[in-house]
Structure 1
């Protein structure tokens, strides 16, 4: 097709009216040359090397690239390294317990800091599970040591091995020794509650007195449950309640178990009314005979000896770390161990209640505590009904400003209870915990554990691999350390778990040596 001048239409479009030079054909030639160059480059390969170098034979592609070195610093320090700084993938609020096994970043973890400062958990408590010898006490000791630096006093209510005595002594704390012929703990002793109540007025005073009274009933009922192997009846608990009130009216000082027994034998009118004897003293004697016989068993004639029938040998301090050392009780005396643990828990929580009541009234500074309940399974198996006693002692830790660590070996320890209702309540200890820390566990534990704590298949495999027994090291001629030593999975609700390896510093070695007697 031609235009009016007789020249092809394409030629007219290719001429610039201002210069008279061709333009469109030049651009076409350049595009064609660029396309040809691109085809040649694609045939030769990529123009830039990949992350591992040039691909192809003999071009030096790296098969392995080492991860760059990482350093941890504050925001003020790291800002000068922009853009090479990156946020940590693990929480950095709380006590440093070790390094993440996936990223190598430091993990800071403790129930008090994660509840109070980081707002990561809704309850300042943790439940620690793991096979013996893998470091359950070690990670709790690390948390207790770090929290002591933050001003939170560790309280160990019953150390059976002992695992925490050296730590508390290193912190200039108080170690209270209990055992046959070594120390006594009077469960009827209200501690400093009576003295503190005199400093309070109104509702605060009445609440503290009522709390101390309830703890004494709970402590006596727990000891009687262990002696019998079954819970006391409702009528017997009512008799104990009224008898303690009568005892407080009659006795000016601190009563002991023999004084409580004497009140029941004296048959005051208030106690007889609780038995419903209808004025028949013989009916009263029959109604309290079983209770009287059980109380006699706590006076030194029974299996528990006289450890709970004499005045308290050493009162507990509220302003220092405290450890109740019950390691002198032999492992064969499981009932005495369980009774000692329960008595220590009751006495210790009573002291915490006194401290918080005085702090609320502005008479003492506010103190926070990290309470450690080790070997939980020993108490739960000592008799039916003790799950309720433990539950009553531990349920109000958040309201009382107390962080709590409950330690046992496996979920089977909780599921081995004889009665279904006790098993469900014991499982509730794990469900209510703010965080669950799992060491090495056998694969048989996973079905029960995953009902309470959601875990992926990879997390379950990691935990079961940590339970592998140690191998024989021919180089040193003895067993190598267990593969799961110091390795734990920190779980909070349904969040992904954080695998961490606890590494002890040189300063901590002497308070974590549980084989010191073998060294000597």
Structure 2
């Protein structure tokens, strides 16, 4: 019409035949069940007895179920149980010890306290030999253990006190166990001498020479032989060295009394400084305020010592370690003689770097205290921040000894660490690149925003997350789970959780 031509209809495109099998996201169109996201199926865990029809399982748990329950596997969701003593008994590790490494604030102490609760339930006695913040006091108190406060204005720890060694030695002697008697007294003498040497090293900021070591060893031996049930103190040791008896003069081959006094002048000055007052003297030259018992958990609370008094803290840590290991040695000697039942202990050595940095020779003294854990029936857990703490020691010999603490550990638990730490860490323990990236990712900062519901800052990504390494095996990434009661015990920010009343009306 009006000169227009009729347009021709275009041919319809032919549709491709639809597949007989529906696509993974469903069919497009009405009723096709199309979904933008397919949720993962619910995973269930069960034993072969409960789900025998599903055997063999497609994915294994990948983590041993031995020891204190820690949490779940970050990859599989499997339950993870781990502690150095249970894994040693099960043959998983060759040494009943663990080293925990991570930056502050991600839960090192909380995780160790969680293990202590589990070990205590298994019959192992936890000993925390030096709690500087404190992180373990409430846990040990909840377990019915001893809380021994050491510090200015609180309690004292006599470094010449052999603890329960004198009583145990008398019981062994009465029972005719003369070899065991000599072993107990020899161990007590060795530990006391080591501790006095360490205390003098810290006080004078220099090592004890060979002649002074000989005099100290002989003088302490004489004091212990004279002691009945009242242990001597540092003042008694100073008086004996000044007295210049014949055994001491003969020990250093002194020509006469004047020669002896010349050789021991530096030692007398150091002992006089330790007994003449000051923080060290008030803490270590008096009677022990509360002796440690061997039949229950115990913690030495060192939180009264100022963080700036690094030398005093190091001396206190060494004294607590010496007293604790001495108590364990007495318990094992009595059990070997059949006079008491066998007890197993797990010892926590926290803030180890503070003692290592005091001076040359401290690493060797700590090594002597901690090396015989397997033979003595002791499990131990050492806690550091980073490997840099060990490499920052001034002497190469001390650095090598300190790295040996990590190399000899049965298991190594690593939390959030910076990228700069990986080279040092992999020089001691084998970590794959994926494992290194995981540890570094946990070190990221938390988001800026507060929690929408609780009004609190969200936790950092690495809080409660650790990678358990045993030798060259692949690591086990875990997230530690705490009960509500443990969360109350582990609150190390109690002074921040209560709102300030300054300016409030």
49 and 368 in structure 1: CA distance in 2 versus 1, 3 angstrom threshold: farther
Q: CA deviation at 1:470?
A: 2.2
Runs of 4+ in 1 over 6 A off after TM superposition: 43-50, 53-63
CA distance in 2, matches of 1:416, 1:358: 41
Q: Which residue is 1:18 aligned to?
A: none
Structure 1 unmatched ranges of 5 or more: 1-42
Aligned-partner SS, 2:374: coil
Give the one of 67, 71, 79 matched to 1:98. 71
Q: Which residue is 1:449 aligned to?
A: 425
68 and 90 in structure 1: CA distance in 2 versus 1, 3 angstrom threshold: farther
Aligned-partner SS, 2:430: coil
Per-residue CA deviations over 1:331-352 (Å, capped at 9, x if unaligned) read: 0111111111100000000000
Does residue 240 of structure 1 match 2:216?
A: yes
CA distance in 2, matches of 1:54, 1:478: 42
* Contact 1:180–1:305 (Cα < 8 Å) also in 2: no
Aligned-partner SS, 1:462: helix
* Contact 2:349–2:382 (Cα < 8 Å) also in 1: yes
Q: Which residue is 1:159 aligned to?
A: 131
* Contact 2:442–2:461 (Cα < 8 Å) also in 1: yes
**Structure 1 segment 58-457 matched on structure 2, within 5 A:** 65-79=38-52, 82=55, 87-117=60-90, 119-200=91-172, 201-252=177-228, 253-278=230-255, 280-302=256-278, 304-457=280-433
CA distance in 1, matches of 2:36, 2:470: 38
TM-score using structure 2 length: 0.89
CA distance in 2, matches of 1:337, 1:293: 22
115 and 57 in structure 1: CA distance in 2 versus 1, 3 angstrom threshold: farther
Q: CA deviation at 1:468?
A: 1.4
* Contact 2:152–2:279 (Cα < 8 Å) also in 1: no
- How many residues align? The count is 475
Q: CA deviation at 1:498?
A: 0.9
* Contact 2:25–2:37 (Cα < 8 Å) also in 1: no
CA distance in 1, matches of 2:468, 2:57: 28
Per-residue CA deviations over 1:113-163 (Å, capped at 9, x if unaligned) read: 10012x110001011011110100011011001001101111000100000
Does residue 505 of structure 1 match 2:483?
A: yes
Larger radius of gyration: 1
CA distance in 1, matches of 2:308, 2:146: 27
CA distance in 2, matches of 1:46, 1:98: 46
136 and 474 in structure 1: CA distance in 2 versus 1, 3 angstrom threshold: closer
Measured on the aligned residues, the alpha-carbon RMSD in Å equals 2.3
72 and 508 in structure 1: CA distance in 2 versus 1, 3 angstrom threshold: farther
Aligned-partner SS, 1:501: strand
Structure 2 unmatched ranges of 5 or more: 1-15, 499-505
TM-score using structure 1 length: 0.87
* Contact 2:25–2:36 (Cα < 8 Å) also in 1: no
Aligned-partner SS, 2:225: helix
